[in-house]
Amino acid sequence: MGEEKQVRGRRGIQPFIEIMDCTLRDGEQTSGVSFLPHEKLVIARMLLKDLNVDRIEVASARVSEGEKEAVKMICRYAKQIDMLEKVEVLGFVDGKLSIDWIADCGGQVINLLAKGSLRHCTQQLHKKPEEHVEEIKRSIDYATSRGISVNLYLEDWSNGMKDSPDYVYFMMDELRDTAVKRFMLPDTLGIMNPLQVIEFFRKMIKRYPEKHFDFHAHNDYDLAVSNSLAAVLSGAKGLHVTVNGLGERCGNAPMSSVQVILKDQFQAKTSINEEKLNDISRLVEGYSCIAVAPNQPIVGENVFTQVAGVHADGDNKSNLYCNDLVPERFGRKREYALGKTSGNANIARNLQELGLELTEEQTRKVTKRITELGDRKEIVTREDLPFIVSDVLKHTTPEDKVKLVSYMVSSAYGLKPIACVKVEINGRQFEGDSTGDGQYDAFVKALRKIYKDALDRTFPILANYAVTIPPGGRTDALVQTVITWRNGDNIFRTRGLDADQTAAAIKATIKMLNMIEEDK
């Protein structure tokens, strides 16, 4: 894979860019992230088989026995599917130790970590460049003798090019004729901008045109994706990424963003199966316990959700608010959020998806209810919609004989909740108040008092009370209260839907009273 690949397409010659995923090595350096061996194996299998990445870096050598077990498991699996050459392990210039460790795991590729800046060489290793190079050469020779392929990291290369370019060139001059297959150039501290990446990469490629260069970006200035694109524009043949941008400090370049920018903005070719980008994101999110931001491009929860009604209207008219990042491309679907800015177009799209047909007037009523809910809470889900439709169309008719004019419920520490209620029954208004064991209990007792004292009528007995969130809904949007009543020998249920649990129960109660009036 070291040789340059190009693909002829409708736009002419298109470069092929190798993608190496570092989630299991560099991504695991995210604070608080530590994958279990079986988790590493599951992630590796998805990266290799489903995502079809070109290479995966799965560990650092000599870290722990648990790490060794994970590498052995991954290498065994990769060998079974004839992909062992795609599994790489970070190793160190430590004589034979890292190489033997990798060989003992069944690995065939070492990513040898060398120093790419003079400061790192002299101040961290306390060695002269000539000493460091000789040690690197011995490691390369030993790895080759053991049948292990070598790629070479020039750690802190970005600072090396800024502060000590002669050192970088010395290293390359000394190592260009060795068995190193790929030279991997990291922006270890995430200090570069795209213009610097272009400048430094072009210098490297001009001096060493026959070599395969990878770029390894860090995101300290939020430029990892931009810098990765700049590297490709300047001749890089490979990029390093992580799922969800995991990595030390601010993380690495996220695979999903790099993939779509390469394809859409540069017309480059990769091996990545885009339909699985969301699946691998969810898997790593679960194992890492690092949540993906809802607005994270491509894989965020909300990125294919239109909120504004004007956008839904535009999508109904030749997809005016769509770009090349269509959700189906990534195994997802576009959604139209329901809230105070939804408008009729959003409601209509969601009703269509659910197979619900409403008249224009019915849609207007449903839209009004969703707008009211949106003013009070964040968002209403599509799963909530059938409940809202039922609530609006079946139970809010102008012929209601019992209407709730106003009410007040309150609670205070150390005191029983109080309710004051005003209702209109068959055109006459009545008021009542009471205390209770809870806000809703106080409300019902106030109603009972009205029915007993003012109307000399019995009030149905509450037989059961259940509060649920509509399936697939959100706790901050809707609560459904289902109350079972007993009125003599008759048992029936009513439902109320609201963002507030007490308000939902009150709605169910008023519906019950209207049903009784209808029977009378």
Contact 415, 449 (CB under 8 A): no
Instruction: Determine the Cα–Cα distance for residues 91 and 112; give it in Å rounded to an integer.
Output: 5
The pairing of beta strand 428-435 with beta strand 415-425: antiparallel
Strand (E) positions, 23-162? 55-60, 87-92, 109-115, 149-155
Instruction: Determine the Cα–Cα distance for residues 70 and 68; give it in Å rounded to an integer.
Output: 5
> What's the distance, CA 175 to chain centroid?
41
The residue among 18, 10, 8 whose CA lies nearest residue 272 is 18
Report the SS3 class of residue 185.
strand
Contact 181, 2 (CB under 8 A): yes
Instruction: Determine the Cα–Cα distance for residues 269 and 246; give it in Å rounded to an integer.
Output: 24
State the SS3 of 207-233.
HCCCCCEEEECECCCCCHHHHHHHHHH
Catalytic residue numbers read 25, 155
- Scan for tokens 């996220």, then name that residue: 254
Sheet with 415-425: strands ordered across: 402-412, 415-425, 428-435
How far are the Cα atoms of 20, 142, 447, 466 from residue 504, in angstroms, in the given order? 53, 74, 16, 11
User: What are 201's two structure tokens?
Assistant: 């990469």
User: What are 449's two structure tokens?
Assistant: 């008092």
The alpha carbons of the chain give a radius of gyration, in whole angstroms, of 32
Instruction: Determine the Cα–Cα distance for residues 90 and 387; give it in Å rounded to an integer.
Output: 54
- Helix residue spans in 13-64 (DSSP H): 37-45
